[in-house]
Amino acid sequence: MNILSIETSCDETAVSILQAEGDFKKNTFKILGDALFSQADIHKRYGGVYPNLAKREHGKNLVPLLKQTLQDAQMLIEKTGQYNAKDADVILEREVELKQQFADFIQAIDKPAIDAMSVTHGPGLEPALWVGINFAKALSVTWNIPVIPINHMEGHIFSSLLKKKSDSEFTVPSIDFPSLSLLISGGHTEIIYQESWSEYNLAGQTQDDAVGEAFDKVARMLGLPYPGGPEISKLSEQARKEKIESSIKLPRPMIRSDNCHFSFSGLKTAVLYALRDLPEITEQTKKEFAREFEDAVSEILITKVKRAIGECNAKTLIVGGGVAANSHIRNEFQNWIKNEYPDMTLFIPPRELTTDNAIMIGIAGYFRYLAGQKTELSTITADGNLKLAVT
Ligand code: KG4
Ligand code: ZN
């Protein structure tokens, strides 16, 4: 079957069409079309993501990205006046950037061979989530295709599991339970425990900042542009290559606490104080801070995951979310698991699918569709704090 997916939870607008086959044990996902627009350059000048600006940009970009995706999937067939977009107009009442573009585009094309749609309904920025949801609903009433709402974090888990079969084909392998997923992104830092695909349990989470947020804030203190994670990553890689040892020692908050929770705000504050004591911030200082910060984060993450493994005898470890793009963190996890838990399977996402994308939302949508999930359109709402797991 063909599934159209939409992701607008933060500052990436993404649309994809997947041809999905098989079940949890054996499956193939062929990417027929995949279009993504990152708003990072737009938000850069403000040093972070502004929800209403993100909403406006999603509204402007969704129709062009859908058009591109349909074209790539060879599903764009022009046929004037076929559809009445009146119901869609009502749904798009508040989406000023989208409404007219939608009517113009949709009325000029034939219904594509799409069997189901999936859309992120949280967690994330609510104004941004709503645009994607309303877009999916408007398409649903126009084309009479069901919509499955997806939790963004579930999407990240599937992203991590993806194995390449060819240039445009992936598979999600079946995994051994119990599994642990360390999800590290701009808004989340949590460890999820699962005994099967039908449940998500929370084993630990941050008590304050998310790890990606800490990367972004520390980068800002060092005068680096948004998003800061890749910038810190670059600098620390240089520091490691140039054998620049860090003369700064940062704390590892909560590393010895008797649980699997995290805290990153103290680490961020420690950077602030250490910087304040310096007469100037040189390129060398930036590299030293970047390296030590990355070391601190890796050590905290590994210590907490180790504790979680000890508590539940996990057979599978999944690391996912935007911060899993970090080379040092990826290497540290790979080496550590190879040395300490050689029988455990570690999943880290393909680099190009680590940060937000629509493919992961399509895959999660397919599995929910297979499980028989049917959601009444009117019940789909944006939930900025949507939880994946219960405690
Ligand atoms: O999953 P994601 O794309 O969006 C959210 O769901 O939040 O994650 C974005 C976060 C940002 O905080 C960004 O700075 C961080 O992932 N990030 C990185 C790297 N690439 C992205 N952090 C560290 N190293 C990287 N290479
Ligand atoms: Zn994300």
116-135 pLDDT tens trace: 999 999 999 999 999 999 99
CA angle 83, 93, 90 (to 5 degrees): 45
The residue whose CB lies within 8 Å of the most ligand 1 atoms, and thus the one to mutate among 323, 354, 356, is 323
The distance of Cα 211 from the centroid of its chain, to the nearest Å, equals 13
Please tell me the residue having the least CA distance from ligand 1 atom 2: 322
| Bridge partner residues of 201 (DSSP) | 193, 390
Per-residue confidence (pLDDT) for residue 82, from 0 to 100: 63
- pLDDT(46) > 90: no
Per-residue confidence (pLDDT) for residue 78, from 0 to 100: 87
Strand 179-184 with 316-320, pairing: parallel
DSSP state of 345: E
Determine phi and psi for 381, rounding to 5 degrees: -135, 160
Q: Which of 190, 283, 208 is nearest to 253 (CA)?
A: 208
User: Which ligand 1 atom is the nearest neighbour of the CA of 124?
Assistant: 6
Per-residue confidence (pLDDT) for residue 45, from 0 to 100: 85
The residue whose CB lies within 8 Å of the most ligand 1 atoms, and thus the one to mutate among 44, 152, 301, 355, is 355
Per-residue confidence (pLDDT) for residue 347, from 0 to 100: 98
In angstroms, the CA 133 to CA 5 distance is 11
Q: Please give the distance, rounded to the nearest whole angstrom, from the Cα atom of residue 150 to the centre of ligand 2.
A: 12
pLDDT band at 47 (very low <50, low <70, confident <90, very high): confident
In angstroms, the CA 192 to CA 124 distance is 18
Which residues contact residue 282 at a Cβ distance below 8 angstroms, ignoring those fewer than 6 apart?
Answer: none
Task: Give residue-wise pLDDT tens across range 144-181.
Answer: 999 999 999 999 999 999 999 999 999 999 999 999 99
Structure tokens of 223? 């005068």
| Bridge partner residues of 148 (DSSP) | 118
Strand 169-171 with 163-166, pairing: antiparallel
Using omega within 30 degrees of 0 as the cis cutoff, is the peptide bond preceding 230 cis?
no
Task: Give residue-wise pLDDT tens across range 363-382.
Answer: 999 999 999 999 999 999 99
**Ligand with minimal distance to 329 CA:** 1
Ligand 1 pocket at CB < 6 A? 10, 185-187, 212, 215-216, 227-230, 233, 321-323, 325-326, 355-356
Task: Give residue-wise pLDDT tens across range 79-104.
Answer: 866 677 789 999 999 999 999 999 99
- pLDDT(218) > 90: yes
Please tell me which residue, 216 or 79, carries the higher pLDDT value.
Answer: 216
DSSP state of 119: E
CA angle 295, 296, 299 (to 5 degrees): 85
Mean pLDDT score, 178-202: 97
346 burial type by CB count under 10 A (0-12 exposed, 13-18 middle, 19+ buried):
middle
- pLDDT(48) > 90: no
Structure tokens of 342? 């050689």
CA angle 242, 243, 244 (to 5 degrees): 90
Mean pLDDT score, 9-27: 97
Task: Give residue-wise pLDDT tens across range 196-212.
Answer: 999 999 999 999 999 99
DSSP state of 107: T
Per-residue confidence (pLDDT) for residue 199, from 0 to 100: 94
In angstroms, the CA 14 to CA 263 distance is 31
Structure tokens of 332? 């540290």
